[in-house]
Amino acid sequence: MALGGALVRALFVPLELIRTGAELLGEKDFTTTFREVGQPEMDALVGVYNQMVLRLREERLKLEEQNLFLEKLLAASPAGV
């Protein structure tokens, strides 16, 4: 019975993790990362997801900084664009 429970858990935990990650990305939540679960395949997936989220968060921050700079530049410009 315990083996069956472990097998079901091993099958559904990855699916739940993937579903949750997809929902977070759909909501544009790039702040949430996952912890490793102790299964090599899942830990590799978690690592890829966390790296992807970190890169998306950095890109979003970079774009926000560029937009703020452009807004300040246009506001300070004596001539309209």
- DSSP summary character for residue 37: -
For the segment 18-22, the average pLDDT, to the nearest whole number, is 88
Contacts of 46 (CB under 8 A, 6+ apart): 17, 34, 35, 36, 37
Quote the pLDDT of residue 67: 96
Band of pLDDT at residue 9, cut at 50, 70 and 90:
low
**pTM for this predicted structure:** 0.70
Residue 16 in tokens = 């739940």
Render pLDDT for 33-70 as a digit per residue (tens, 0 to 9).
999 988 888 899 999 999 999 999 999 999 999 999 99
Quote the pLDDT of residue 59: 95
